[in-house]
Amino acid sequence: MAEVTRPKIERAHPAWRAIKRLLDAVTAAFLLLVLSPLFVLLAILIKLSSPGCVFYRWKVVGKGGRYFTSYKFRTMFENADALKEDLLSRNEMKGPMFKIRNDPRITSAGRWLRRYSLDELPQLWSVLKGDMSLVGPRPPLQTEFERFTEWQKRKIQVKPGITCLWQIRGRNRIDDFDDWVRLDIEYIEHWSLWLDFKILIKTIPAVLTARGAS
């Protein structure tokens, strides 16, 4: 009976899981190398936009509830976390996740980075290390995870990813966290290497056209 409740990726043949991990590592290493000049340009843009570190330390929850630190390009002012408390009443996302349009904490450069998901690129390092995958549910912040209901915790049954169904089917148009989790569970229950490939391919135009971006 326990076998039925396990995510499909966990029930798949070990060879398929090994291939997924190999593709993650090789692709992440290749992209980190090829995109390194872009990383430098974005770092300069962030520094010119506002004072502070180039990278934002993102403390999140991974597979099975394991905590780890990932990195994004900083898109907000340095004191953004301290200002969040004053903005909670404006939260537009139903559920434990915080999200508002026209967030005043976002820098001018950060708004552009977010529009095209360029702020996500440093997470390739987490993929290379094995904390994340290219495709998988978005990793929740520790503060978000503490407010999850039991069924919402199903999204951490597998390794989190940089992109998933939410990126190609809704992105910032989704305003109910339950709908987001349903997409993650759909991915978990129907996982295959072919599904990963389709999501990656569809993510490219979704990002380049800023589809669903705020």
pLDDT per position as a tens digit, 74-117: 999 988 888 888 888 888 889 888 888 888 999 999 999 999 99
Q: Note the pTM of the prediction, 2 decimals.
A: 0.89
- Tokens found for residue 159: 């390794």
Whether the per-residue pLDDT at 139 is higher than 60: the answer is yes
Query: Distance between CA atoms of 132 and 130, rounded to whole angstroms?
Result: 5
Per-position DSSP letters for 45-58, written without gaps between them: HHHHHSSS-SEEEE
Beta partners for residue 57, in sequence order: 71
Q: List the domain boundaries for the chain.
A: 34-208
If you average pLDDT over residues 136-145, what whole number do you get?
A: 93
Residues 6 or more apart in contact with residue 9 via CB below 8 angstroms: 17, 20, 158, 188, 191
The percentage of the chain sitting over the pLDDT mark of 90, rounded to a whole number, equals: 69
Q: How far is CA 174 from CA 34, 72, 167, 178, 214, in A?
A: 32, 22, 10, 9, 11
